Structure 1
Amino acid sequence: MNKLRLLTVLSLSLSIAVAGCSSAEKDAALDSAAQPTVVRTAVVKSSPLHTAYNLSGTLQAYEENTLAFQNGGTVASAYLTVGTAVQKGAVIARLDDADYKLQVAQATASILEAQAGIDNAQANLQAAASAIQSADAGITGARANVNKVNKGARAQEKQQAQATVDKAQSAYNKAKTDSERTQKLFEAGAATASDNENARLNATAALKDLEQAKESLSLLLEGATAEDHQSAQASFQDALAGKSKALAANEQAAAAKKQAHANYEKALVAKGQAELALSRTRLIAPVNGVILGKSVNTGDLVASGQTVYRIGSIDRLKVLLPVPDSEIKDWKKGQSVNVMLYEESRQGTVSNIYPSTSTNTGIVNVEIVINNPQQDWLPGQVIKAARQVTDKNGILVPAEAVINTGSEPFIFKDIKGKAVKTAVKLGDQVIENQLQVVSGLREGERIVIKGAENLFDGNPIKAEEGGRP
């Protein structure tokens, strides 16, 4: 068969084929001879199946603290802005502390004053103790004197007094004799006037000594007088009164010391309270976190308990999902939940299921915890969520890959560079804009995932890799 004859046969066959086809098939046949259509394809893979509830919620800091001063006053510094990262223990705001420092100084002065009171009371206590000892000695002496007056002189004392009188009498007799002899010699011119005068003075002194000795002997022999008894007794009573006074002073000093100690303890408490109040002029970050809200500025006057900052830890985030109470039985603590923010997907974990249902909406809040180590997801952002309810896998394809204009949906496979129309059966899973295919596709086949709406069965195609099946 020559070339001319071959061309004639091919042309005739093509004409017959075109004449026996529908208009759509004719268009496809004509397109098959045209340039291939550029489409995006992907290899079909098996993926975990989820139940998509289309739930959404707002991200919150896992731990959030509302910070306020425990004291009122004027804000001296509050410069941190929303979004600023802070470390646990850092000072993030201050009050004007001048008055609080003055209170600490006053309390310190009160402590010193109380300590001086203790020292003074201790000195008074020691003086009172000495006074008691002195009073005891006075009582002992006064008692001995009373006893002596009451008992009178002893025989030995009387004998000694008589001996003294006898001695004084002998001395006087001798002095008198010497004086008389010297007087005669003086009159005769045998003694000087000075010798005569000295002899006379010696006799006079000896007479006085004799009289005193006799008087002492007389007192001993006669005994103490009533006045002596009264005087001795009065001295004893004075000594007792002195001790009573000393004891009273001792008790007063002890009470003063006790009061001084009480004042000291009170001053210590006052200083502790003043130092505590001073420490509360600083607002301390309780956790590592981020400033989520700010309510005051430097220079503002704030009351005790008034909110200054909201701080939260965002290394982990949480979100409350509103689950219909009819479906809450399928949720358990510890389950994995797929959450998505824009195009990024992460795994969260059910940490808590609230024990009550909202009477207005009929929903139950389910708390999900999401790790956020990079702190790139932020409180206030809205996420979508779906919960995995089975460990089975299935085939998921992008929704735009499925054409569903007739009685049954279909997709286009990429078989050797041609679009092959293939009917599929869909399941009930819809996950992240993907549809479950339960029949018509096998893992490993290549399908058109973008541009399928412009194809006909048999069209030549040029595959552009990308996307997920």
Structure 2
Amino acid sequence: MIILLKPSLYISAIFILLFTSACSSTGSSDQEAAEQQNQKVEAMVVKKEPLSASFDLSSTLQPYEDTSVSFELSGLIRDTVVNVGDSVSQGQILTMLDSSSYQLQLEQASTAILEAQAGIKNATAAISSADASIQSADAQKAAAQAGVNKVNKGAREQERAQVRTKVQRAQSALTKAQATAERTKLLYDQGAATKNDYENAQLALTNASRDLEDAQDALSLIQEGATIEDRQSAASSLHQAQAGKESAIAAKEQAVATKDNATAAYQQAVIAKKQAELSLSKTALKAPISGVILEKKATVGQLASAGQPVYRIGQIDKLKVLLPVPDHEITNWKQGQTVQLQLYDENREGTVSKIYPATNTNTGSINVEVIVPNTQHDWAPGQVVKAGRQLTQSEQILLPAKAVINNGTDTFVYKVVNNKAVKTVVNVGQMSNNKLEITKGLNVGDRIVTTGVNLIYDGLLVQIMGGTSK
């Protein structure tokens, strides 16, 4: 529990005590002092000094920043690299988990990626083959369609004219061959032509007759058009070509679907690999901040659970302390203000870094955060320090409280002037470390009685025996 004593109450208590002591010595003590010459006293020379803080608060030192470090994974602790008291840097490895299972997951993911890549490659080749088949089927279909068109359309007029011309020529040739054959026969019968001439004329007639029949048959075919069988054959060829194209299209669609599946498998494998790499990296526990190991809760061979604290790291190059300031005094505290901290016999200056916006639930006080340097690490977290606010930045005249007297009416001191005690009325301000601030009545260089003030009076000859007489 922190006890805060207001300076005004403290000063009043001292004045009452001194006044009571002075009154009790009235009479015989004052008379004896008056009868003595050159009363021996101690004195000091007035000077200005900083109005330091009154150590009326206390709290516990804490690391400037600290954090508990834990694994994100569960596993067997394989090694611990650092121990309590070691300094660590941000990102430094603190301890390791057995990573064999996570390494296996990474290898499996890498294999799955290779398999998926092979599937994509095979599917791409199948798509190319299907495209080629589609092109070939298109060509076959076009040829079949041309055949159907030709059968359905029949011969062109030019073709018919050509065949009719052949028939006419064949008819003319037959007529000529008949005339030649008849004349040759008459000549042969008369003995004017040889048998060979006769036979040649008969052969020419036979050939001319056959040529006419062939020309007439060709003309008949052109005029009648294609047969049913021809039409069916052409339609069948077109149907087969169409079926071939549809089959090639189906093969391509299947190859595309296979490629899509292989691509999806590849993407899943890549994600699985990244996850495996991330898990593997988390088997090494790294320091999130630079600092000193304050606690170690891990041992080799221990089974660590995810989230279980393993180390506690703190930054102790500077420390912080939360001072519980009474709410009615919080307006006297400002950010950036200097605070005196005391640990045993050592004093150190801190700086107010933060004033909390709400009161503490149990005490009603308000926390003031003070940062204090600790480069040598000679102050440790957990130690209790006393603290006091720097009351002013300027130097003031300060006197020991025992040198100041209050008789209920006046507050005064005794100055030593020409070896005489001179009663001097003063105004006092704040108290700091059993010293009173003198705001009015004294000047730097004045000599003030500090011991024996209850034995002297105004105008008494005094002899300075000690104190800071210079």
- CA deviations on 1:305-358 (whole Å, 9 max, x unpaired) are 111111122222210001112222222222211112222222212122222223
The equivalent of 2:384 in structure 1 is: 382
In structure 2, do the counterparts of structure 1 residues 107 and 144 end up closer, same or farther at CA, with 3 Å as the change threshold?
A: same
Q: Secondary structure at the match of 1:239?
A: helix
Q: Secondary structure at the match of 1:385?
A: strand
Give the whole-Å Cα distance in 2 for the aligned partners of 1:78 and 1:107.
Answer: 29
Shift of 1:446: 9.3
Q: Which letter does structure 1 place at the counterpart of 2:233?
A: S
In structure 2, do the counterparts of structure 1 residues 403 and 309 end up closer, same or farther at CA, with 3 Å as the change threshold?
A: same
Shift of 1:423: 9.8
- Does the aligned pair in 2 maintain the 1:396–1:434 contact within 8 Å? no
The equivalent of 1:245 in structure 2 is: 247
Q: Secondary structure at the match of 1:271?
A: helix
The equivalent of 2:226 in structure 1 is: 224
In structure 2, do the counterparts of structure 1 residues 216 and 251 end up closer, same or farther at CA, with 3 Å as the change threshold?
A: farther
- Does the aligned pair in 2 maintain the 1:422–1:440 contact within 8 Å? no
Q: Which letter does structure 1 place at the counterpart of 2:284?
A: R
- Does the aligned pair in 1 maintain the 2:44–2:447 contact within 8 Å? yes
Q: Secondary structure at the match of 2:109?
A: helix
Report whether the alignment pairs 1:49 with 2:51. yes
- Does the aligned pair in 1 maintain the 2:57–2:386 contact within 8 Å? yes
Shift of 1:103: 1.1
The equivalent of 1:337 in structure 2 is: 339
Q: TM-score, normalised by structure 1?
A: 0.67
In structure 2, do the counterparts of structure 1 residues 142 and 65 end up closer, same or farther at CA, with 3 Å as the change threshold?
A: same
Give the whole-Å Cα distance in 2 for the aligned partners of 1:398 and 1:105.
Answer: 80
Unaligned runs of 5+ in 1: 1-20, 33-38, 167-206, 415-419, 451-456
- Does the aligned pair in 2 maintain the 1:336–1:347 contact within 8 Å? yes
The equivalent of 2:197 in structure 1 is: none
- Does the aligned pair in 1 maintain the 2:163–2:215 contact within 8 Å? no
1:69-218 residue pairs with structure 2 within 5 A? 69-152=71-154, 154-155=159-160
Percent identity of paired positions between Structure 1 and Structure 2: 46
Shift of 1:373: 3.1
The equivalent of 1:278 in structure 2 is: 280
Query: Which piece of structure 1 moves more, 65-74 or 125-134?
Result: 65-74
Shift of 1:430: 5.0
Q: Which letter does structure 1 place at the counterpart of 2:136?
A: S
Q: Secondary structure at the match of 1:297?
A: coil
- Does the aligned pair in 2 maintain the 1:50–1:388 contact within 8 Å? yes
CA RMSD after TM alignment: 4.7
Q: Secondary structure at the match of 2:348?
A: strand
Q: TM-score, normalised by structure 2?
A: 0.66
Give the whole-Å Cα distance in 2 for the aligned partners of 1:86 and 1:46.
Answer: 47
Give the whole-Å Cα distance in 1 for the aligned partners of 2:340 and 2:150.
Answer: 114
The equivalent of 1:290 in structure 2 is: 292
- CA deviations on 1:34-56 (whole Å, 9 max, x unpaired) are xxxxx9x9976422114415111
- CA deviations on 1:270-317 (whole Å, 9 max, x unpaired) are 111111111111222122211122222222112211111111222222
- CA deviations on 1:225-278 (whole Å, 9 max, x unpaired) are 322221211111111111111112222222222222222222111111111111
Q: Secondary structure at the match of 1:103?
A: helix
Query: Which piece of structure 1 moves more, 214-223 or 132-141?
Result: 214-223
In structure 2, do the counterparts of structure 1 residues 371 and 156 end up closer, same or farther at CA, with 3 Å as the change threshold?
A: farther
The equivalent of 1:435 in structure 2 is: 435
- Does the aligned pair in 1 maintain the 2:431–2:437 contact within 8 Å? no
Unaligned runs of 5+ in 2: 1-30, 172-206, 452-461
The equivalent of 2:308 in structure 1 is: 306
Q: Which letter does structure 1 place at the counterpart of 2:304?
A: V
The equivalent of 1:234 in structure 2 is: 236
- Does the aligned pair in 2 maintain the 1:64–1:310 contact within 8 Å? yes
Q: Secondary structure at the match of 1:347?
A: strand
- Does the aligned pair in 2 maintain the 1:79–1:297 contact within 8 Å? no
Shift of 1:426: 11
Q: Which letter does structure 1 place at the counterpart of 2:388?
A: A
The equivalent of 2:18 in structure 1 is: none
Q: Secondary structure at the match of 1:82?
A: coil
Shift of 1:376: 2.9
1:438-457 residue pairs with structure 2 within 5 A? 438=438
- Does the aligned pair in 1 maintain the 2:148–2:231 contact within 8 Å? yes
Give the whole-Å Cα distance in 2 for the aligned partners of 1:295 and 1:22.
Answer: 75
Give the whole-Å Cα distance in 1 for the aligned partners of 2:134 and 2:141.
Answer: 10
- CA deviations on 1:412-463 (whole Å, 9 max, x unpaired) are 999xxxxx999999967554x553374999756899999xxxxxx96977x9
